[in-house]
Amino acid sequence: MRRNNAPALVVVAALLAALPARAQPVPDPAAAAADRRLHELEDELKRSRGEHEQIRRKAREISDELARLRSDMVAAARAAQESEEVLSELESQLEDLKQMEVDKGEALRRRSAQMTGVLTALQRLAWRPTEALIAQPQSPADTVRSAILLRAAVPQIERSAQDLKGEIEIMGRLRTEVAEQKKRIAATAGRLEAEHHRLKDMWDRKSLLQSATLAQGDAAERRLQQLAHEAEDLRDLLLRLEEERQRRLAEAAAKAEAERAAREAEIAARKAAREAELAAQKAAREAEIAAQRAEKERRERELAAARAAREVEIRAQAEARQKELEAQKAMHAAEAAARAAAAARPMGAEKSFSAAQGKMPFPARGKVVGRFGQPNAVGVVSKGLSIATRRDAQVIAPYDGQVAFAGPFRGYGLLLIIEHSEGYHTLLAGMARIDASVGQRLLAGEPVGVMGRDESSPSLYVELRRQGQPVNPLPWLTAQKSKVSG
């Protein structure tokens, strides 16, 4: 912030006016003191400029740190979503392995029962001596057939025993693989929890950096909550949000104009006071010079010459100050015009939303369980997509934009509306927590919320609208690894 130099210039002018006339160029204590005071003022001005530059540099550093933090949050959110997807795949594989283990166990029990019956019969037959076979009440042909059957059954039993041994080994490997799969799931879950903690830490840092704008954001959020209760339906809400945005632009322009008028009035008042003070100083000096002229003619001529020199210096200083004030006025006007132009610029004009078709990431990782235009159980046609996610899943912004609404809204629960360019809006509902505030600008991939932890089957509802009309969001989203069902 530029420090006002008017008091310092007035002091310098007063010190110059108070310098006594000298008959000879000999050292004057008063002149030396004035010169020292002038150097002190110049040093103070330099220090003030240095402090001002340091403050501006600190502001730039905070802005750069916030930009780096937002980039880190985008990367952390992407890593968390990838860990969620890997964890879901591992859990699905674990369920398949468990089912294979159950099937193999059932088959193994059936084979074991069959082998137990056959081996029991063979054992009873083996206990009988050869002589007992001759005494059996059956014909010799039957006895020979029994021996032939026994000879043919023994190799088959041995093969069955080998197959049974192989099945037992497969069961052992399946159990080992199940144990390893559980270890991999535990490790992946640990990494996911670490990513969630790191993302929470970065969100806390971002909240601290943005604390200066919380008051304005809270006021805008309360007003938008009031608009939400007054809205008849979602289209009416979007229309009211557009009217609110136009009102904010008009208020910002009016505020900038009022500040400019106030600055001009303050500059005019300071100029008038400075001119009056200079006139009073000039009159005092003229009276002093007239008294000195009556005392001594020679001193009067020297005082006249000194007065003329001081008047030239004062006029030069006044002209320099006037030029500096005019430069400040032009700079403030340019800043006000730049702020008004930035406020009036349509949000998201830097990046075309239509160019992002087919390239936007899914707001959350999971399976698409409800499509656009698909009727639900009661016959209501869906205007968006429903994505079944993991518990505590991370939700991100699919594209650059500005938060237009964040809070509860009728049957949607917690609703987040992101305004893009070209009249497009993204609606996200079903989250347990929203990590964005009204008016906040978002980057593609920046975390905006978290799904529920205690819900049995959390689902994120995604809706895309253009000029208030719902459009199918699926062609705008890039393909993901998970299967799309429904």
Give pLDDT, residue 354.
87
- Do 341 and 360 sit in the same domain of this protein? no
Higher per-residue confidence, 68 vs 19? 68
Q: Which of the listed residues 323, 345, 367 is the one where a domain comes to its end?
A: 345
Tell me, yes or no, whether 215 lies in a domain.
no
If one counts the domains in the chain, the total is: 3
Tell me which range, 98-102, 137-141, 219-223, is most confidently predicted by mean pLDDT.
98-102
CB proximity list for 86: less than 8 A, separation 6 or greater: 188
- Do 294 and 422 sit in the same domain of this protein? no
- Do 97 and 201 sit in the same domain of this protein? yes
Give pLDDT, residue 157.
73
Mean pLDDT of 205-229: 62
Name which of 440, 432, 349, 347 is nearest 397 in CA terms. 440
Answer yes or no: is pLDDT of 338 > 50: no
CATH code: domain of residue 407: 2.70.70.10
- Do 275 and 194 sit in the same domain of this protein? no
- Do 166 and 70 sit in the same domain of this protein? yes
Give pLDDT, residue 483.
46
Mean pLDDT of 84-107: 82
Tell me, yes or no, whether 486 lies in a domain.
no
Tell me, yes or no, whether 483 lies in a domain.
no
**Chain-centre distance for alpha carbon 237:** 24
Mean pLDDT of 422-427: 94
Judge whether 450 and 431 are in contact, CB under 8 Å: yes
Give pLDDT, residue 175.
80
State what percent of residues in the chain have pLDDT above 90.
Answer: 22
Tell me, yes or no, whether 269 lies in a domain.
yes
- Do 253 and 393 sit in the same domain of this protein? no
Higher per-residue confidence, 26 vs 298? 298
- Do 241 and 298 sit in the same domain of this protein? yes
Mean pLDDT of 474-483: 73
Q: Which of the listed residues 297, 318, 345 is the one where a domain comes to its end?
A: 345
Answer yes or no: is pLDDT of 399 > 80: yes
Distances (CA, A) of 45 to 38, 167, 280: 11, 91, 26
Tell me which range, 8-12, 140-144, 364-368, is most confidently predicted by mean pLDDT.
364-368
Cβ neighbours, 10 Å, residue 27: 7
- Do 330 and 384 sit in the same domain of this protein? no
The boundaries of the domain holding residue 43 are 1-210
- Do 78 and 130 sit in the same domain of this protein? yes
Q: Which stretch of 152-161, 237-246, 301-310, 376-385 has the lowest confidence by average pLDDT? A: 152-161
Tell me, yes or no, whether 221 lies in a domain.
no
- Do 300 and 446 sit in the same domain of this protein? no
Q: Which of the listed residues 345, 379, 398 is the one where a domain comes to its end?
A: 345
Mean pLDDT of 348-363: 81
- Do 186 and 324 sit in the same domain of this protein? no
Residue 193 CA to residue 453 CA, distance in Å, equals: 12
Tell me, yes or no, whether 222 lies in a domain.
no
Give pLDDT, residue 388.
94
State what percent of residues in the chain have pLDDT above 70.
Answer: 69
- Mean pLDDT over all residues of the chain? 77
Backbone angles phi and psi of 121, in degrees to 5? -65, -45
Residue 87 CA to residue 84 CA, distance in Å, equals: 5
Tell me, yes or no, whether 218 lies in a domain.
no
- Do 166 and 73 sit in the same domain of this protein? yes
pLDDT confidence band for 51 (50 / 70 / 90) = low
Residue 486 CA to residue 476 CA, distance in Å, equals: 18
Over the Cα atoms of the chain, what is R_g? 44
Residue 391 CA to residue 460 CA, distance in Å, equals: 11
Tell me which range, 99-108, 203-212, 326-335, 476-485, is most confidently predicted by mean pLDDT.
99-108
pLDDT confidence band for 485 (50 / 70 / 90) = very low
Tell me, yes or no, whether 482 lies in a domain.
no
